Structure 1
């Protein structure tokens, strides 16, 4: 770069740093704007210009694929013959998806070896045959001028958003965003689905529109897979967010293990949301406008456990929620703030009929205090009082929500690639210094872009206030080396802010992992709080230990659960932090996605530790397969959790072995198991809450599948009725907290905590709260013993 250009760039960053009040202001009220930042006016992009991602230099590579330095991560469908002028683009789009030897089932480079972003510029693209996606595919439209995929005829589906060479529960890493699906030219009487979305964790469906004829038989999104085959069902997704449906028989057909649905609008649908089958779900911020029925969950066993409705609304619709009354746990429902027309039905089930606005309501088994007999069924249908912590809500009283930033209002000059700053992303070079320097240089000045690749770091990456980080379909930061190896002095791979920092930090489309066995590695530590709630956020950012190419963890962990302490913790939200997190899978691998060696028994000590007091929002966050606990709420305050999914480690050792409980990290010591030789007691807690205030939990999926798992048999092998003894532990000093829709699979005790005499005891058990997982689960609609 010439000296003149360097001086111009430096001057721009200095000017930006002197304008922090501008940079940290909001485009709109908290949670409403696309992006919480404003750059100096000279760098703003008028909406008539191009989307930055289309223009930025494409530097992404696939480091562990043979010839991966030349593999095309980005492919524009117009380079394959699509015109966007309304002519048939089917072959061109499919060619862009398949190019580079890509195929289904992860058989051509694993899940991560041949990942591809298939970019669709604005325009109309006629589709005459089903578009077929593979794992590791992202369909991305231009958010400034969203492209239209227009069905020529009654395709079923228009887009197959799952990989049929896998089962839905292992169809990871598929993404669709910024696209309009359109069937308005197709015969309304014909049956068709615009999108079949039978996927699981790390998949992303955001910012899409589904247009269908009014009074038609069309379905917008169906989570079905291939009916009557092993690929039937909708998988195990974490979240679907920020969609709009117009017309059709059904907007979204829900058929999955669990899911958070957030910020979805249904307009003119005969039925907005139809629940075909779900064990547990949370519906946050759904809007129904002029629909016949907002939510239909009347089919027997459609809701096997419970669902929660949070901050939802209905306008000019006949019935907002049409449910089934069971008289027991299955089909439980929680309503917390549902706005509706005064004369319209908000909720009906059997003889129950609620109209107009509903502040809060529970139908299901409810325990109001710790004096309840845990061995009885306490079914209720009643209004309840819910007090929300002020730190968690906006001015309108609703919980804070924030859409994933797209940065589409900024031109390409607002972005700086870490590769231009000297990082290689080749899975071999130490990129620590280059990344840290780039983040310091870009703070309050540029959005830091990580082209697709694997960035090895041997010391902590420190994210300063004023940082915006965006990856390219899960760009990886991978910890390596002895700095992360000391179990007595754990160190974060990525650290967002120093203790006490106040500022703005956003991270999207990233994956943080480790390259080897590192018992002192904390993948992500957050210390920073925002000047405004939501200023510190993470969207579509995942945390992996093992399971992917470039990590030696799978190969080097043995076949005994005590042989391998691979990582210390997935994520730590410290007591000075404040963070909004949406769509995060904190996964300790039970198998390899990329065929990188046999599946060893990988030991990760801890899942997610939350000590924050200023506000934490977890919107679709799922820790899995950690040893001591999944989520630990310790001396925290003001925590919103839409839905917490946790799978107990399949290879559970005799806890706490091989870990030594560390009081500094609030580890459980399993003293509740003293004198008990039941190995099912010494298994990782899905959830612990201790000494905390204002913990608002709206659903769980705590699934225990195995005892003495051998690393290959996924059919289940627990002796007797249960696989685990305890699900949730709550201590005496917790207050102002509400636990809704506790769903479990094969866990004997749903809640363990202090009774009326203060001694720890069983407070609710599965046997008297059956439901959720068929014939093997429990569902407790509301536990209010710690709400005062």
Structure 2
């Protein structure tokens, strides 16, 4: 039973695979532009009667903090044969509260993947894409302290939690079992600006008066930045010590205040597997903690590779981070997705109102927009999409047909330009093969920290309605040797190119060459052949990157149909002999210096869609390569299915078996030279 307090939820946007629906829950009179803007978006490949934007009050919700609004809210979520991908947005100016009734006993006040009796759930957690929740207060204070969860968050890529307050019962010691977020499994995602009072990549999280701020029951790799943990007996705790269920974690820019044990670790140099429980901490203020890291105060945990190989439990020299990377307090700079609170609705120019003429904030109404030539994005512009509108690159256009002469579909600025561009909540796809398309070329250099940025922007190639790259045309055929890839199933030349003079702040972006169907009823796995993912030619700092080798490789090999090109500094695979070598590199640092990588998950799950290779870590020979480079730091490297973790100038420096973790292999630090 739920009661919504004050203004009820401002908005819920529901996404059913690639079909989007907006559910409006805002109270009348909100001053936020998002509540006032005229809704004229439509679902391009859906039912014309489908309700895109919904108000829970139209479904019977009262929102007075007393009435049971559970049924009304669930009707708004589910009407119209709804399924997956809900986006929940509250009023950023006056955040609504959802209060759990004292009798509440569910898996979460908000549940992203409902369990059925017997343990089955709505969907496979690793395929639970495209969900957002932001600008909410979730109140569990009336629920008995022995139970209650704010959000059950069992999700994958293209998901986020942002600007949420979890109010729970304070005190009670071990008897208090309330939790703000419960994430039992999943595969990617992002969280920022969360506050928990009472009990993936996560930034700016605050915990007040919790028994335990963060309990990590499992992970492969997780990156935290900007934690503030106040008045908590335990800060960060690995579940079930001494059992090694935690893979690895990176935690940076964190402050503890009145905390008994800041970090509890189950790592030691005799643990099995040898790298389980790897933990890296950077730029910590432990002065408010009685114990910094139990069992060893002020230590770093994990396997380290430099000029020597060693199990490390100790300090590490500070890194020479450039000033452009840091904020005023000396931590890593970050900037959350802009909400444009101070702008009136008149400042926003919807694209369906006779296009955009260059003034105001460009608002792209939901829909599918077909482009046949390069879109030039000027400097000094703000662009926001209504629930991931589709920018559809028409592959049959002559400009994108030449695999030997690639051209950008979207060009942001020109080389040498300086200024501001902010882009959020947009999804780029193709219509059919576009072998000569660079989906986005970013040339702009910022004129201030974070002024050139993208938030929640996606590149999705194939697997959805309208792309012509679906299971009816590009179904997998692992039993048939693919010597010449089907030209009708080619994706693009390159997803994103950040050029040498550019600077770009990116947060929770995802480029996905679809391995399976989303919209067709069969949901079958598919073959899409894409040339390249992300090419960055300027200075770089990464916080938790993830890559997965194409599931069909080496059938065909990575060099088909896109032949390596020296002009693009491609790897040439000339040293390969085994079939497992002719596969996509997860990470390649070429002719670079001062590269900082805080978390890299490089995964290879299949050999021609067969996962038997996982048991022997032989799905792929290589993971990461450093070539002609120096001053490179990789913290928290986690690989799956790979034989060698890191090569430097063609020589393997990191052995396979010495770094086994709970499922894959991990390193705390790789420093070169």
TM-score by length of 1: 0.75
The verdict on how the C-alpha distance between 1:716 and 1:420 changes in structure 2, with shifts beyond 3 A counting, is: farther
The verdict on how the C-alpha distance between 1:569 and 1:276 changes in structure 2, with shifts beyond 3 A counting, is: same
Q: Which of 409, 416, 419 does residue 342 from structure 2 map onto?
A: 409
Q: Which of 310, 316, 320 does residue 378 from structure 1 map onto?
A: 310
Q: Does 1:152 align with 2:108?
A: no
- 8 Å Cα contact 1:506-1:537 kept in structure 2: yes
Partner of 2:537: 611
RMSD between aligned residues: 1.9
Partner of 1:319: 261
Supply the distance in 1 between the matched residues of 2:267 and 2:194 (Cα, whole angstroms).
29
Unaligned runs of 5+ in 2: 1-28, 115-120
Partner of 2:205: 264
Partner of 1:297: 238
Partner of 1:573: 498
- 8 Å Cα contact 1:536-1:580 kept in structure 2: yes
Supply the distance in 1 between the matched residues of 2:607 and 2:454 (Cα, whole angstroms).
34
- 8 Å Cα contact 1:176-1:206 kept in structure 2: yes
Partner of 2:550: 649
- 8 Å Cα contact 1:306-1:772 kept in structure 2: no
Partner of 1:737: 632
The verdict on how the C-alpha distance between 1:389 and 1:746 changes in structure 2, with shifts beyond 3 A counting, is: same
Supply the distance in 2 between the matched residues of 1:336 and 1:275 (Cα, whole angstroms).
19
The verdict on how the C-alpha distance between 1:534 and 1:595 changes in structure 2, with shifts beyond 3 A counting, is: same
Partner of 1:395: 328
Q: Does 1:74 align with 2:53?
A: yes
What are the residue-to-residue correspondences of 1:378-777 with 2, within 5 Å?
378-385=310-317, 386-422=319-355, 438=356, 441-442=357-358, 445-480=359-394, 481-482=396-397, 483-554=399-470, 555-557=472-474, 559=477, 560=482, 562-563=485-486, 564-595=489-520, 599-612=525-538, 637=539, 639-652=540-553, 653-673=556-576, 676=577, 678-709=578-609, 716=612, 720-732=616-628, 734-754=629-649, 760-773=650-663, 777=664
**Distance apart, 1:527 and its partner CA:** 0.6
Partner of 1:252: none
**Distance apart, 1:344 and its partner CA:** 2.6
* Corresponding residue pairs, total: 612
- Residues 78-118 of structure 1, C-alpha deviations (whole Å, 9 max, x = no match): 2222222112211221111122232x3xxxxxxxxxxxxxx
**Distance apart, 1:303 and its partner CA:** 4.9
- Residues 390-440 of structure 1, C-alpha deviations (whole Å, 9 max, x = no match): 221123221110011111221110100001125xxxxxxxxxxxxxxx2xx
- 8 Å Cα contact 1:280-1:303 kept in structure 2: no
- Residues 428-479 of structure 1, C-alpha deviations (whole Å, 9 max, x = no match): xxxxxxxxxx2xx23xx31111111111111112111111111111111110
The verdict on how the C-alpha distance between 1:324 and 1:449 changes in structure 2, with shifts beyond 3 A counting, is: same
**Distance apart, 1:658 and its partner CA:** 2.2
Partner of 1:96: 76
- 8 Å Cα contact 2:216-2:246 kept in structure 1: no
TM-score by length of 2: 0.88
- 8 Å Cα contact 1:362-1:782 kept in structure 2: no
- Residues 353-374 of structure 1, C-alpha deviations (whole Å, 9 max, x = no match): 22xxxxxx532111122xx3xx
Supply the distance in 2 between the matched residues of 1:721 and 1:184 (Cα, whole angstroms).
47
Q: Does 1:277 align with 2:218?
A: yes
- SS of the aligned residue for 1:263 comes to strand
**Distance apart, 1:596 and its partner CA:** 7.2
Q: Does 1:170 align with 2:127?
A: yes
The verdict on how the C-alpha distance between 1:290 and 1:718 changes in structure 2, with shifts beyond 3 A counting, is: closer
The verdict on how the C-alpha distance between 1:277 and 1:342 changes in structure 2, with shifts beyond 3 A counting, is: closer
